[in-house]
Amino acid sequence: MSTLRETLWDPIAGFGVTFRTMFKKPVTEQYPKEKVPTAPRFHGRHQLNRWPDGLEKCVGCELCAWACPADAIYVEGASNTEDERYSPGERYGRVYQINYLRCILCGLCIEACPTRALTMTNEYELADDDRANLIYEKSDLLAPLLPGMVEPPHEMLISDDHHDYYRGKTLPIVEADS
């Protein structure tokens, strides 16, 4: 048996909540019309970074694939040659795929990366109506070329010694011809 209070007062009190809320600022996000920035360390889509001269940082070591708890990453390494160089040193990642149908965006891969080649961006719009599109290839994951970067393959522009890349050497500053 419900009490008199439950029968009469509670419905009115409920409308009170509705009434009060009418004067509050709405919290609804107007996604996708308005996009709200994520937290700065949000785990979003991955990115394969480049050295300042445009060479890839990825050496195809597969440690990311090894670390991945969801088995979402597939990597195949290959040798750089004199004519075709994609990264400093001997080895580069020839195939790099992340399957976002599997990825749980936990970030263990970027912890495993020994060259800081793999990091995560804040991009979170990872949805599609085609499963195949959600397997991101290397071309989809590579960071865009910034000014001064040259699309590989090309020779090492920072230094002839690949160790210098890891020591933080940057591109030699070339004075523009006046």
Partner 1 sequence: MTVTESGSTEAAPVELVTLTIDDVEVSVPQGTLVIRAAELMGVEIPRFCDHPLLEPVGACRQCLVEIPDAGNGRGMPKPQASCTLEVAPGMVVKTQVSSPVADKAQRGNLEFLLANHPLDCPVCDKGGECPLQNQAMSHGNGESRFIDQKRLFPKPIHVSEQVLLDRERCVLCQRCTRFSEEIAGDPFIALLERGAQQQIGIADGEPFHSYFSGNTIQICPVGALTSADYRFRSRPFDLVSVPSIAEHDACGAAIRVDHRRGKVMRRLAGDDPEVNEEWITDKDRFAFTWSSQDDRLRTPLVRDPDSGELVPTSWPGALAVAARGLAGKPAGVLTGGRLTLEDAYAYAKFARVALGTNDIDFRARALSTEETDFLASRVAGRRPDVTYAALEAASTVVLVGLEPEDEAGTIFLRLRKAIKRGVKVVAIASHRTRGAAKLNAELLQVVPGGEAQALAGLQLGEQDIVLAGERLGQVPGGLTALTGLAERTGARIAWVPRRAGDRGAVEAGCLPTLLPFGRPVEDAEARADVAAAWSVQQLPATPGRDTAGIVAALAAGDLQAVVVGGLELADLPDPAAAAGALDAAEFVVSLEVRRSDVTPYADVVLPVAPPVEKPGTFLTWEGRPRQFETVLDTGALPDVRVLAGIAEELGAPLGVRTIGQARAELEELGLWDGARPAPAAAPPARGAGPVGTVTLDTWSQLIDDGRLQDGTGEYRATARPARLKANAGTLAAAGVEPGAAATLSTPSGRAVFIADVADLPDGVVWVPARSEGVHVRALLAAGFGDRVTLGPADGGEGA
Binding-site residues for [4Fe-4S] cluster: 58, 61, 64, 68, 103, 106, 109, 113
Per rule CB under 8 A, is residue 153 in the interface with partner 1?
no
Site size toward partner 1, by CB under 8 A:
16
Residue 76 in the binding site for partner 1 (CB under 8 A): yes
Query: Bridge-partner residues for 56, per DSSP?
Result: 50
Token digits of residue 94: 């020839």
Q: How far is the CB of 61 from partner 1 (least distance, A)?
A: 4
Contact between 164 and partner 1 per CB under 8 A:
no
Site residues (CB under 8 A) for partner 1, limited to 111-150: 114-115
Residue in 59, 72, 141, 142 binding partner 1, rule: CB under 8 A:
59
Closer to partner 1 by CB, 44 or 77: give it. 77
Binding site per annotation, positions: 58, 61, 64, 68, 103, 106, 109, 113
Binding region for partner 1 (CB under 8 A) = 59-63, 65-66, 76-79, 89-91, 114-115
